[in-house]
Chain A
Amino acid sequence: MQDAKNLKEYRQTIQESLGNDFLRRALDTFAVTYRASRARAFAEFDVQQLVDEVAAAKDAVLPRLLELYSEFKKNAEDAGVKVHFAKDAAEANRLVAEIAERSGSKKIIKSKSMTAEETLLNHALEDRGLEVVETDLGEWIIQLRHEGPSHMVMPAIHLSRYQVKDLFSEVTGARQEPDIEKLVKVARRELRSKFVEADMGITGANFAIADTGTIGLVTNEGNARLVTTLPRVHVALLGIDKLVPTVDDAMKILRVLPRNATGQNLTSYVTWITGANECRSAADKKKEIHFIVLDNGRLEMAKDPLFSQVFRCVRCGACANVCPVYRLVGGHKMGHIYIGAIGLILTYFFHGPEKARNIVQNCINCEACKDICAGGIDLPRLIKQVHVRIQDKEGHPLPSLLLARVMKSRKLFHTLLRTAKWAQRPVAGGDGFMRHLPMMFFKEHDFKALPTVADKPFRDRFAELAQPRENIRFRVGLFSGCVQDFVYPEQMEAAFTLFADHGCAMSFPMEQSCCGLPLQMMGEMATSRSVAEQNLRAFEREGVDYIVTLCASCASHLKHNYPVLLGDDPLLQDKVRQFTAKVIDFSSFARDVLGLDATAFTGQGQAATFHSPCHLCRGLGVHEAPRRLLEAAGYDFREADESEVCCGFGGTFSAKFPELSAELLRKKLDNVEKTGAELLLTDCPGCVMQLRGGLKKRGSTIVVQHTAEALAARKKKGG
């Protein structure tokens, strides 16, 4: 549960997580094993197709939501179930309490339900003197510890066997051993005795099938079968987003849910309950069943053109499993009740802006969640949009406002960058790194050395570069992005010479500015849009075949976000389409368009490895091009472990959460060093900055370059 009042307090709680060695180790191992078991579970399938089917099935529900609710209610009630609608958490809890009271239920057992966590149902029932016992092992453990879940599927992943042993010793009044198998057996027997006594069972539901009035429950332990069989009363609390038209839709979801959640083909149990089934302890031998369908912000979400895609969420928890930030800080720091990427969004809708304000900033925008989501939800975009909404309502913080003000005018921005060169003079070392950090702003940035601004930006060098005279194959517009323009112009020059050798006539429109991604990351949407339009205009009259950028983040932003930012303007729509169709990243252009292979290069040896920028591998779906190019250029290419995991740069993220950025960087560099490579290459200047700074700080001799530089160094002279 996340209750920090401000960003400062929130960062303090994050520090605590970083200091929790057990948690860190547990989440590290999990992150690695999860990816492997998931891949195995999907081996026989085209994952994208399955995800698309889930998305389509869920999207089709939206326009019929209320109609499906009525159908579900009618069919369930015809079969002897009472269906209730609860508009918010308080109403849902009150309904459950009233059912307990009317049915004379005192002892309640529960199987796992995130929806009941959402409404804080246990507290509400306990306040009325009812005994509530969770029967899912993980849920029972955290209930006994008075904690919330730290993962949607594995609620107690943050605890060790020793903590569980102590807890169980307390509960049984007998000494327990730190032996997992034995502890599980103790839970089996202790909970069995709770099942025997219970009057009422509470569950959630994974599906509510409208045309039969059935609910479906997906579990591994089988506790839900006992919870729905033994007590005389059964209450299922479910979000209205669980409605699907038919069992066929449920099957589509079921094919993806366990595979994506835990890498299982199917959970041990899936239970389908229709109507008031037999219960021999009830007076009339029929169970009393209630389905409580919860709104709590969902209906508003369903109407929202952007956020309605949240309905596709099947609560598989995968977006936490792959999130590099979750992996560092754990669930209690990454969501109020729902955790991980989806948690950042649901917290805002279910628990309000207060609870979401800090955590929603803790996303590095690496897109790992979007890539893995069972419903194909564009999670990073929604997270950002939540941030924007909160900021627009509560006021923008000063740094964000200043950034927006400066970026709005390209001239002002570039003048500032040019002056920064002079400002940094006294502290700049002779080797391209700042010796000391000049600004308070960077106080906690000392885990990496920061680069200096170049003497002469690329825009001032461009005119002097030699263009090819004959055999022109392509007209190429160069989009540099601010970092390559002002900090690493040599990367642009390297690409220029390589392209020139292979028949590219290049232009560099001087009106181009920052791509706008940093603004978007700060939640400054209005300026982000205006910068996008400036860039569009800058390239409008160039008549180029391709717009090449060496920055994966710029490329992905230009390609995927510009249509969203500018698409609502009918006058711009066509232009945006033409523009984005031309945008291509460096490696894809070099390999797929120019067709560079071994014949273009000379030289052999030198061990090299590659860091895959988030916006290259996930943003643009490019995996092979840079690696194959490096091999073609004769490098001894070595794949690093977790080469597609974020390096921790994340633009403004590393300024906001330096401690997290530093940890991600540490892991990244450990994996790089393990390869024994002398050269570390990547396709993004931001990553270069982060990696180079980190290695410098470690005193490492590994050289970091942009792939363009490594290729240019091996090109055959004269092309």
Chain B
Amino acid sequence: MNDTPRQQLVSRFVDKAKAVSAFVTEISSLDEAIAYTLDLCGSRGACRIKISGCEEALSPPAGELCLTKQAKIVAAPDLDPELFQRLAEACSEAGFACLRDGMRQHLGGIDIGFTIADLGIAETGTLVLNCPGEDLRLATMISEYHVAVLPKGSIVADGFAAESQLRKYLHRTPDYTAFITGASRTADIERVLAMGVHGPLELHILLLED
């Protein structure tokens, strides 16, 4: 094998992310990212009016919250306006709502949260997401699926290599930064692994060619 160090870093990231059940796909343009998201929402069935858990027997307040969701929703706060425009147009053609803000009005749930990650950490398959704005945070938490674009050039070896960037975030106040490694998980009942206890059930990482 004569992979370059950069290629090795990328493949290490992919291995580690897959090991925590993230779905990793390589893409060469942002248009592909939009196409992937729409495909996931539409033909792959990720977008549903009735979302996960709402088919279970729930208490009245929990049941009512389920009913507040009336559309198939993609949310993409913090995207640059031009890219958001393209995503929104594609969504509206396909009949999905596409939101840029106002996540608090949709706490019942949204289908897909679409973000661009700031860094990737190869050692653990982690995404670093600087998210001082609450809409971005919520979009990656109340969504059923999280789709994150990660430019390959933003992958670093380990937490220590991410430090200088992280330090910049933490010195900028106020700040909120998240490390995201795979989807939300729990093993609190009989140590059986279950995904999506609070946050996304699936994490999709789209590795963007530089």
Contacts and interface: CB of A to CB of B under 8 A. Distances in A.
Interface of A: 26, 29-30, 33, 78-80, 135-138, 141, 154-157, 159-161, 164, 171-176, 180-193, 195-196, 209, 212-214, 220-223, 225-226, 228-230, 247-248, 251, 254-255, 262, 264-281, 286
A136 B188 contact: yes
A303 B169 CA distance: 34
A715 B177 CA distance: 67
B174 A189 contact: no
B3 interface: no
B1 interface: no
A462 B56 CA distance: 77
A272 B191 CA distance: 27
Contacts of B160: 248, 251
Given A220-B186, A277-B132, A212 B197 contact: no
Contacts of B60: 173
A160 B53 CA distance: 21
A230 B197 CA distance: 17
Contacts of A192: 62, 65, 107-109, 142, 198
Nearest to A254: B159
A266 B122 CA distance: 12
A155 B191 CA distance: 11
B141 A225 contact: yes
B61 A222 contact: no
B146 to A, nearest CB: 10
Contacts of A159: 189-190
21 contacts: A26-B190, A137-B188, A138-B186, A138-B188, A172-B59, A176-B57, A180-B192, A180-B194, A181-B194, A185-B52, A185-B56, A189-B54, A191-B198, A192-B142, A220-B185, A222-B197, A268-B183, A268-B184, A273-B175, A276-B174, A280-B104
B182 interface: yes
Interface in B20-67: 20, 52-54, 56-62, 64-66
Contacts of B126: 266
Contacts of B109: 192
Contacts of B64: 193
B59 A277 contact: no
Nearest to A183: B189
A200 B72 CA distance: 30
A446 to B, nearest CB: 35
Interface in B103-161: 104, 107-109, 123-126, 132-135, 137-138, 141-142, 158-160
Contacts of B124: 265-266
A189 B190 contact: no
B16 interface: yes
A189 B58 contact: yes
Contact of B174 (A79, A160, A262): A79
B53 A157 contact: no
Given A265-B124, A276-B174, A190 B62 contact: yes
Contacts of A230: 104, 107, 138
Contact of A26 (B175, B186, B191): B191
A196 B103 CA distance: 12
A121 B199 CA distance: 26
A196 B60 CA distance: 14
Report the 9 A-B pairs with minimum CB-CB distance, sorted nearest first. A275-B174, A174-B57, A222-B199, A138-B188, A185-B53, A79-B173, A270-B179, A275-B173, A189-B53
Contacts of A154: 187-188, 191
A135 B198 contact: yes
B10 to A, nearest CB: 17
A193 B188 contact: no
A137 B186 contact: yes
Contacts of B192: 161, 180
B186 A247 contact: no
A174 B20 CA distance: 33
A270 B176 CA distance: 11
A222 B198 contact: yes
B59 A174 contact: yes
Contact of A193 (B62, B172, B196): B62
Contacts of A222: 141, 184, 197-199
